[in-house]
Amino acid sequence: MFKGIIPPAITPFRDDFSVDEGSYAEVVEYMIAGGVHAIIVSGTTGENYALSAEERVRQFHYAKDVINGRVPLICGVNDMTTQGACDFARAAREAGADGLLVAAPPYSLPTERELAAHCLMIDRAADLPIMLYNYPGRTGVTMGSDFLARVGQRDNFRYIKEASGDINRVHLITREFPHIELSCGAEDQALEFFVWGATSWVTPMANFFAEETVHFYDTCVRDQDFEKARRMMMALLPLTTLIEGGGKFAQSVKYAVELQGLPAGPVRPPMRALKKEFKREMREVFETAKTSLRAIMADQKQSEEVAHVRLVEQG
């Protein structure tokens, strides 16, 4: 169900930091028009840590209304406590979610057995397909082999977004847990993930490069053209470095959304706005990446048109 390009949507705010639902709808429409295959709400990219519980639940509902069944809706239900996560899971189900995004609760550092119990309780609370989210850089714990063996016995645990940055995890999941579909959660490793059989890429870049990331997915999965995919990834790498390595993740994604001509608004505290110097650098990198990607995509379109003409002439 959850295959392809799956953006975790940003949450646009007004200048007074209130949620701007109209702008949210505009970004969602852009992503769907660009061909994304599903959308995640209330994830890290959506600044879920800065939203109240009421705002998160309301987001489940208005996201469902905007998407209106055109692509699957995946709701992030992460919380500091198991009870809180279960409450969000039930709220997501009631809102009409197609699945859940589940990470380890931050700060508490559960063991693998404790983490498995946490996730199994969320599963029982909502009984929806679950995409696990392994991001030890933010949660402090890894979804290891013991954990995956325990939860993998349940049919709802069908996917894992792997964001550790450790390529050995890709090998481990592919080899030992083939029944759990692999999703790329490391921006600079998307090519490697697809070479190893990943079925999706959860990428914040689809908030502003929707058509481009979908084209990359098709190049890897449909066409198996990894030479072209490598060219596209080379064009993206300077941008992924700024977004993930600059310590300004949410701000960088929102600024890129604005560069694409879409509304994003500020980030909520404790995050702060980007400095002018960083914006200047990012603008240059963004435009270079966009130009390069468009040129690569145009080359393929021209090649396809030439091939079609030859087929017609031969026929």
Instruction: Give the three-state DSSP class for 35.
Output: coil
H helix intervals, the chain = 21-33, 53-67, 82-95, 112-126, 136-139, 145-151, 167-176, 190-195, 210-217, 226-245, 249-259, 276-314
| Amino acid, single-letter form, for residue 182 | L
Tokens of 183: 């999703």
Selecting among 64, 161, 254, 290, the annotated active-site residue is 161
Phi/psi at 73 (5° precision): -110, 125
Give the contacts of 170 (CB within 8 A, at least 6 positions apart): 162, 182, 189, 192, 193, 196, 198
DSSP string across 137-191: HHHS----HHHHHHHTTSTTEEEEEE-S--HHHHHHHHHH-TTSEEEE--GGGHH
CA dihedral 296, 302, 307, 309 (to 10 degrees): 170
217 is catalytic: no
Q: How many CB atoms lie within 10 A of CB 55?
A: 15
Selecting among 24, 133, 135, 159, the annotated active-site residue is 133
For residue 13, what are the β-bridge partners? 19
64 is catalytic: no
Peptide bond into 12 cis (omega under 30): no
Active site residues: 133, 161
